[in-house]
Amino acid sequence: MSPHRKTLLEGDVQPHLRRLAFPLALGMLALNSFSLIDTWFISQLGTRYLAALGFCIPIVMLYMGVIFGLNVGTSAALARVYGEGDIEKFRRMATDALTLGAVVITAAAVAGFALIIPIFRLLGAGDALMPLIWKYMAIWYCGLPFLGMMMIGNACVRATGDTRFPSAMMISMSVMNAIIDPFFIFGWGPFPQMGLAGAAVTMVTSAYVMAVISMWFLIFRKQILVGPIWHKDITASWKRIMHVALPSMISNQISPISAAIITGMAAGFGKEAVAALGVATRIESISTLVFYSIGAGLSIFAGQNFGAGNYGRIYEAVRAGVKYALCWGVFISGVLWIFAYQIPEFFDKNENVIGYTAKYLHWVPVTYIALGVMIVYNAMLNAIGRPFRATTLILLKAIVFYVPLAWYFQQHMGFAGILLALVITNLAVGVLAVVWNRRALG
């Protein structure tokens, strides 16, 4: 039995949760910091380029949802097997998870490439922005399979309780992105100036390098992967992974679909409103990453302990996760409130973009506490094999509540109505998460 497995099944819960979550927080911070840096570089090209990126973000989120869903399913299924102590079965399922990821993500990338123009026309992108959007997305889809392999490989390692390697991979990718991004965007040195498309080239390059490193580590250092790739029981492994992955993929796609609809609504208020939503989304991704790192750490801990039958430790971990989420929610909402006008200036000097973004940062972060609680509960539900309840919460948040409320309020209050709808939605779903899931293990 490995040391990682022993430490998660025994000893004080809170130190383990912090040990798991902290490296993940660093890795997520690095990735999301690059998203902000990427947005800043693109903003130097002008509001038109930033607006084009604003249209791309919901679709990027949609396809990343496929990867995140497979990531969650892989981590949850493998953590339970690791908690049971069946290491050979763990290796077999890890190999099957990567095979499944290669098939699903490549198919998603091909479909996305074929539908670029009709999808963005549907979102309301005009002729002025479409060439920028097409070049960015066409290149970005080429890197999607490599990014998927890296992240699913990280999930395999993370299920053992090792969060340092996944964190190191995310940090390395972010550093690499930040270094080479301006060369492709602005045409530094011998490189051609590619503008917005250069940001996509950066992603493809770094994703390929990181995928190669990840596969080498899994095969030669961790010795997690085993042959053959195809075998008679592969569908059984896929079903176990997809039991959590499919609902998670759906839930991870619900939010981008909602974001795409909201972007369409914002487009009615001009390109500045779309650009502001893009900037606010990037800022929010940084601000809420602590919630997701807590949730990811909790998912590993809960999965292993559920496999070992230690249900009391899961309850204790959930309580600790909620406490950490509450503390961070109070802190970050205060920071964003105070610097609501200063932060957007790093991305765009347009007064309308700053005004729209500042309004978002004044209103929405107040509800981050409720959002964090929901993320913690959803992580626990996925870890113990109850993903449909977690998916239902996401569906309520993104589609059932948010979209209709946003459509109604924006007709009467303009852009502010969209924000009010999000505030009401976050609060309602946070309360539902607490009430609904208190006895989830019962």
pLDDT-derived band at 438 (thresholds 50, 70, 90) equals low
Best CA proximity match to 59, nearest among 283, 267, 275, 256: 256
In this predicted structure, which of 143-147, 343-347, 351-355, 372-376 has the lowest mean pLDDT?
343-347
Minimum mean pLDDT range among 88-102, 379-393, 419-433: 379-393
For the chain, percent of residues with pLDDT exceeding 90: 30
Compute the mean pLDDT over every residue in the chain, rounded to the nearest whole number: 86
pLDDT tens, residue by residue, 34-52: 777 888 888 888 888 888 8
Q: What is the mean pLDDT of residues 349-359?
A: 89
Give, in order, the Cα–Cα distances in Å from 114 to each of 107, 108, 333: 11, 10, 40
3-state secondary structure of 324: helix
Report which of 85, 28, 110, 57 is spatially closest to residue 257, judged by C-alpha positions: 57
Q: CA distances (Å), 246 to each of 111, 187, 223, 242, in order?
A: 18, 41, 27, 5
54 or 210: which leads in pLDDT: 210
Per-residue pLDDT band for 200 (boundaries 50, 70, 90) equals very high
Q: Cβ distance 304 to 80 under 8 Å?
A: yes
Residue 190 is classified by DSSP as T
Contact 393, 378 (CB under 8 A): yes
Report residue 114's pLDDT band, with 50, 70 and 90 as the boundaries.
very high
